[in-house]
Structure 1
Amino acid sequence: MNPDLLRGDTSVIDQSHQRSRSFGIAVDDAPDCSGLAAGRLQGMLEESRLLFQHAAPVMETLYGQIANTHSMVLLTSAQGVVLHSLGDNDFLEKASRVALVPGMDWSEQTKGTNAIGTALIEQAPVTVLGDQHYMRVNQGLTCSCAPIFDPHGQIVGALDVTGDHRSHHQHTLALVRMSAQMIENQMFAASFPDAMRLHFHARAEFLGTLVEGIAVFTSDGRFLSANRSAQFQLGLPFAALQAHTFSSLFGLPVSLLHEWFRTNTAPRQIGMHNGVSVWCRARLQPRAVWPGGVVSQDSVPQAPRRMQLSSLQYLDTGDPQLAAVIHKLRRVVDRDIPVMILGETGTGKDLLAQAIHHDSARARQPFVAVNCASIPESLIEAELFGYEEGAFTGARRKGAMGKIVQAHGGTLFLDEIGDMPAHLQARLLRMLQERKVSPLGAAKDVVVDVNVISATHKNLKDMVARGAFREDLYYRLNGLVVRLPALRERTDLDLVVKKLLKSLCDEAGQDTVDIAPEVMALLRRHHWPGNVRQLHNLLRTAVAMADDGAIAPVHLPDDFLDELRERGELAAKAPLADVPDPEEAASASPLLQDVTLDAMARVLLQHQGNVSAAARALGISRTTIYRKRHLLPPGLLG
């Protein structure tokens, strides 16, 4: 059905009225305000956690666009039960009189013709104006609603704007439809974090917007899913698309797509099976983080998921100290015992926390990380505990949910806990004891269920002795204390390097590169002050420099070689044939200079001309790139 025909379309309304009569509803029936029991509503919220996670911020944005119009925004389940609402104060009282509050059922079976129930039955956006509502008690309302589909084409809920019938605006349905599509696209990205994703549209300027088509495929081209815009552009419903591959839909081998977009992000034009030409971009691989965890390249909230790459088993690479840590952790997973992870900066404390979460029964619930050292002290209280509207100057309208509440049902990871301000340590202790959170400016507490993992590189026992950290909080957090060994103390460097190289090459869409024996020897001699994080950054640069060849000493960053020289582990002026300095080698050899410039050009292209980001990726200074800018292709530097 064409959604543009549903803005108060009389044939749709007439059919809905017929259904309402068949359900036994009378026009003069009083509204049913009984609603769901609190327990059932909570259970429904749990079932719709992924939907709510992605819908809540979109609802706030939508409400900001319609604020002060005597309206409210509602999120419902696939059955039409209201899960969450935001509304103007002057409209909330009227809304409660007609049962527009969480827990109320707005399906056609109970309320007759209304935008929520009718949109869910029609599976398309609908506006129901004033007296088009079947029940007379609802005819003072005007409602615009769009169903929300999951990545598999199933309705999981609906987004609705309801207001006074005298304040209806003709563009409201368009805003609702766009907002529902935004939620769908975010859920879509979260559901296929590791798949090959194709973004396409007939007009290149619409790539990256809400109207772009998004289709996901396995690495060998088997179809997985497509959003509604992609289905419309391809001219095929979801069920029909399931029989296709990338090649049958676009007439190209999937290997060509890999070749195009392995290192180049510029749009390409391709033809679809129906003869229409579109512009496209492809995301071929997830972005890897050291050493082997995976996060999406998108900036949307990520759906928690169980994966081998994030498991304790994956992190067990043969070092006896690390194996002992993992053995202890396996004994306490799902025992509601708080874990404290100690270790130097860069040892992978955050990855270990994620692995604990993914191996637990909470794996499908949120994993929320808070770095207590990176948030300004003036903001950390609001960030952790949330706040109500008007709690402080600059507070967002309708307040904000804190990280602790966001982690409800899942895991809260408090990194660098030793940097938590003293006045918040008492609040955190109360939360751990009572399992309740009191947002700033709120009159009521919020019940939370979280598993807490903390981490620090500081000596908390010394801090307790000095009075810098609360003793009662320390003993509340350290149910099991484990220490991650520094990289220089581990015996599994070779295997860690191997896994990191595979992860980085997968990210770059290239075959795994080899590593020269002399390079491996240098890696073994280094003391690694930055631990695994430093190793990851070094190898990422080397992979970019080496491309599909083997990593040689010339591909290593300057600062790494300088550190070895400073420690006397490398000659101050090593012969070029032995362990060359990259800058000297590049200036001495035209061929090597070409290789270096090619690596710079490719990384600059990947980072869209951002010199700082490219320099970090290459492990060199910005000055080095600027010094060679006259040798690089024009237009690369932003």
Structure 2
Amino acid sequence: MEVRTTALMRARHMLESQGRFPGGALPGDISDSWLRSLSHGLDPLARHEAMTLTDTEFRLSQDRHADLIRFARPELELLFDQIAGSNFMIALGSPEGVVLETLVDTQFADSDAGKAVVPASVWTEELRGTNALGLCISTRRPAQVYGGEHFLRAHSDVSCISAPIFDGRGGLAGVLDASSRSTVRQQHTAALVQMSASNIENCLIRSAHDRRIVLQFHPRPEYLGTLSVGMLVLEDDGAVHAVNRKGEMFLAGIRNLIGTGFNAIFEQRFEDVALRLAQGETLRVRDRMGSAVSMRCVANRASFALAVRLFSAANLPQARPTPSHPPETRNLFRDVVIEDEELIRRLRPLPKVATTGTPIFIMGETGTGKEITARLAHAASGRSGPFVAVDARTLGAEAEAALLGRPNGAKGLLEQAASGTLCIDEVSWLPHPAQATLLQVLDHGSFRHPADGREIRCPLFFISTSVSSLTEAVASGRLLPALRFRIEGFSIQLPPLRDRSDMDALARRFVRAQDDRADIDADALYLLGRHDWPGNLHELRSVIAQAVLRASGLCLTVEDFGGLVPVAAEPLAHAAACPQCAGVPWKESQCRSIRDTVRQSGGIAQAARTLGISRTTIYKHLLAQA
């Protein structure tokens, strides 16, 4: 590390004094980027200048990349929680290098770097020289730029890590970036950034192709639906329209996938397997290179249409799906681990309600799966339009314009969701005039555009979600009573994670989503089951992601969760020793001592240091409580 640092210092000195540098002094990607920066005529000693879009330009950029922003926002929040340090920020960039959104901690926000990396700022190599976001755009590969590796000395007090987000057609859809004031190389953070970028990519591909057949495939069937799944999007003639990066990896022996027919990739003809895939079956197929994969069809508009067409052609009316029947309900929810019988009971009417177009209200704590439940309802509705989701808290005073459209003619949320589904989170946060507008549209199915007064028809399926009841919102004066009765057609309350019986299944799903080879042992599952999980599924996913990255083996143990999951205080309050120590006086004394030390020190790591024993030993005494 010292040799590398010295080489970098020498390279910087030559760059700043002579306009050149020794070729072997830097990593190849950094060296190439410095050369490009020189070719752009940049001065490494130039002072930092504000390089941002105008308000109008930035608004157009946000509109152009609205889907990217929508799917990236929860990943930004999760990544921010996962890094969980200080003096850092998370940023989402467009393919043009424009920062679209940021999440930043207070310490970083007050720094020069925090004031430079802001929404609407531009970070291409042409303007800023070597930086991770710009380098990622230039190379279309993950990039890491630390301290003095930045071309401009003005940026040498920050380190940044970026990962590309692709659109499935070979194009760049965006860039995810994590920046900090630390110059220590952060491979843990780099892995988290790349995983989040892959998740955004998969969401984008699924959302953009609701009218095309989307296939998920993986060599191992238990990993379908996880982050590691391959995805193929098919045209009507069976040719590949799009493929995600995992899909390209699984089919690496087949060149030029885009435009290649399904029948040229796999040994089975699509016509022979389409009906079973459309019915929701998981099939084992073999590609032309001889590798077998498990495959299933994503439930979307195209798959429902294909099923109806094939059922009719085969003259099998008895095969028509009956959403109210329990097996079909389970099939609808196959992309979510749901083994909790009470939750299944609550969700069972959802397909039937969705097909009638009755407004749905979904209530649950943050992280309980409200949006994914809304997406399942949209898929079950069979509507031809898109699923459009928005958090009312982000709209502010611009809410009415966001709903109806802007005077410049830009489409509003209502028009975007025409013939589809509009999902509004925390609808009571809309200003009352916007609520009145929404009520009128839901009643009449149309509105007049503010730009030219023309009437726009927008029949839509409406879903609202919230952490609190609509009764509370009306009582506090936030929600108009008339709107409450219009949107509360069918209500579902999602249970918090601590009340679900399928905790183990969810944990295993999240583990395999991070690494399809990984698993988790029984003791670790018991530890997770004792935590309250105030952040619900978001928190569980974050904790498991960090545990997988720090684990030394492929099976997660209690030790891998040290410091990530607090041990419940209740077992420590009992005077009795744990069952494995009970009845042996010296063991009981030792056990009580360990429990008291954990309680007094406030954590297992500190208790281990105080007692001079391993954390694993402490966990054994805590987990053995009956």
Structure-1-length-normalised TM-score: 0.48
Larger Rg: 1
